Amino acid sequence: MSNRILVTGADGFIGSHLTEKLVEQGYSVKAFAYYNSFNAWGWLDTLPKDILNEIEVVTGDIRDPNGVKVAMKEIDKVFHLAALIAIPFSYHSPDTYIDTNIKGTLNVLQAARDMGTSRVLITSTSEVYGTAQYVPIDEKHPFQGQSPYSATKIGADRLAESFYRSFNMPISIVRPFNTYGPRQSARAVIPTIITQLLSGKEKIELGSLTPTRDFNYVKDTANGFIEIANSMDTIGEEINIATQKEVSIGQLAEELIKQINPNARIVCDEQRLRPENSEVNRLLGSNEKIKKLTNWEPHYSFERGLAETIEFFKQNIDKYKPDIYNI
């Protein structure tokens, strides 16, 4: 991999882990974080000082084409992770998802085209597949826009495909299934359950318990990005990062309850339910393609990943608001 790398969304959950891993592997990393007047760099602020001191942090807005272009000067490879990802909030504010996820991706693609960037990795999501029509879900599975969020990610993916086909750009579309781990926001199901349990609640509020998910530990996801970037065979490809194992939300909740507070029980909170036709009922991804084209293998079992995640939240529960439903 070329040495000069830009990570957009570096201040977020997966982006901060990827940035940290790239620095540990000796790459020169520029981290693009969302501008704010508090000069806060999101999860980058929590990285060890020896890691943070090696990162060039630039702030801006992925929706601003000029800011993106300036950030991408003299960059060899870009990992584009900046996005709005919360599904319930996409019901509330779909315009912002179009501006951020589609227009933001266009800004990265245009800048990469103008700069001649040697590799571009666009971050997709397993949500683009919707409820599985067959399993395991491989990269040929049909797309289904079951939420405004997933629709904008489908749009961003297809834009990336068009730039590859129209301009012969070295683009790969990286499609992680449900990533979890330290630093994840409370709008995701695993932090939602853990923070409620650690705060002492015995009635754990959740939405539907029957959907299944394919959970990736975040460090395995970050390694997947790097392996895809290191392979020339992945150019022009859409590639899942998946464990090829599924767990229901109910099973997940029972496991976390058993580990943290066996006296707790689950109650259904109707505001957490997706609209019926929007709920993705089953996600189980195929990882055959990533294993064929790269050296990637998952290193974390679900049990080990959950244990590390629980320990993180024990140390950082003050950063979360368990009594508030994060949409």
Tens digit of pLDDT for each residue in 154-183?
999 999 999 999 999 999 999 999 999 999
* Tens-place pLDDT, residues 50-63: 999 999 999 999 99
Report the pLDDT value the prediction gives residue 42, as an integer from 0 to 100. 97
pLDDT at position 121: 98
Full DSSP string of 78-133: EEE------HHHHHH-HHHHIIIIIIHHHHHHHHHHHHT-SEEEEE--GGGG-S-S
Taking the alpha carbons at both ends of the chain, their separation in whole angstroms is: 37
Decide: helix, strand or coil at residue 159.
Answer: helix
Q: Locate 218 and state its tokens.
A: 């975040």
- Spatial contact of 101 and 157, defined as CB atoms under 8 Å apart: no
Tally of CB atoms within 10 A around 143: 15
User: Which superfamily, per CATH, for 4-181+216-245+282-301?
Assistant: NAD(P)-binding Rossmann-like Domain (3.40.50.720)
The pLDDT-based confidence of 2 (bands split at 50, 70, 90) is low
The stretches of the chain forming alpha helices (DSSP H) are: 13-24, 49-52, 65-71, 87-92, 94-97, 104-115, 148-167, 189-198, 218-229, 249-260, 288-293, 302-316
Domains of the chain, by residue range, sit at 4-181+216-245+282-301
pLDDT, tens digit (0-9, with 9 covering 90-100), for 23-71: 999 999 999 999 999 999 999 999 999 999 999 999 999 999 999 999 9
Contact 44, 19 (CB under 8 A): yes
- Read off the pLDDT band of 1 (50, 70, 90): low
Helix (H, G, I), strand (E, B) or coil at 314: helix
CA 219 vs CA 14, 212, 224, 225: distances in Å: 8, 21, 9, 10
Specify the DSSP element, H or E, that contains 238.
strand 238-241
In this structure, are strands 4-8 and 28-34 parallel, antiparallel, or unpaired?
A: parallel
Phi, psi of 152 (to 5 degrees): -70, -30
Question: What is the rounded CA–CA span in Å between residue 20 and residue 43?
Answer: 11
Q: Is 317 helix (H, G, I), strand (E, B) or coil?
A: helix
pLDDT tier at 274, thresholds 50, 70, 90: confident
DSSP assigned state of 215:
E
SS3 207: coil
Q: Are 225 and 304 in contact (CB under 8 A)?
A: no
- Residue-wise pLDDT for 62-95, tens only, equals 999 999 999 999 999 999 999 999 999 999 999 9
Average pLDDT of every residue of the chain: 96
Name the percent of the chain lying above pLDDT 90. 94
Residue 37 CB burial class (10 angstroms; 0-12, 13-18, ≥19): exposed
Torsion angle in degrees (nearest 10) through CA of 179, 184, 189, 193: 130
Tokens of 298: 């998952």
Distance, CA of 126 to CA of 93 (rounded, Å): 21
Cβ contact 283:126 at 8 Å: yes
Confidence of residue 282 (pLDDT cuts 50, 70, 90): very high
Return the closest-CA partner of residue 6 out of 146, 170, 132, 118: 118
